[in-house]
Amino acid sequence: MSSLDQARENNLKNIEAKTGKTLAQFRAHIKQSGLAKHGEIRAMLMKAFDLGYGDANSLTHYALASDGQSAAAAQGASTNDVVDEIYTGPKAALRPAHDRVMAAIEKLGAFEIAPKKGYLSLRRKKQFAMLGPGSKGRLEVGLNLKDVPATERLLAQPPGGMCQYKVFLTDAAEVDKTLIGWLKTAYDSAGE
Q: Using the predicted structure, report yes or no on whether residue 22 has a pLDDT greater than 50.
A: yes
Q: Which residue has the higher pLDDT, 65 or 131?
A: 131
Q: Using the predicted structure, report yes or no on whether residue 80 has a pLDDT greater than 90.
A: no
- 114 domain-assigned: yes
- 47 domain-assigned: yes
Q: How many C-beta neighbours within 10 Å does residue 159 have?
A: 8
Q: Are residues 45 and 103 in the same domain?
A: no
- Write the pLDDT tens digit of every residue in 35-75: 888 788 888 998 899 888 778 878 887 887 754 444 444 44
Q: Are residues 48 and 117 in the same domain?
A: no
CB 187 within 8 A of CB 112: no
Number of domains comprising the chain: 2
- 69 domain-assigned: no
Query: Domain of 13?
Result: 3-63
φ, ψ of residue 68 in degrees (nearest 5): 85, 0
Q: Are residues 57 and 122 in the same domain?
A: no
Q: Using the 3D structure, point to which of 44, 63, 82 is the last residue of a domain.
A: 63
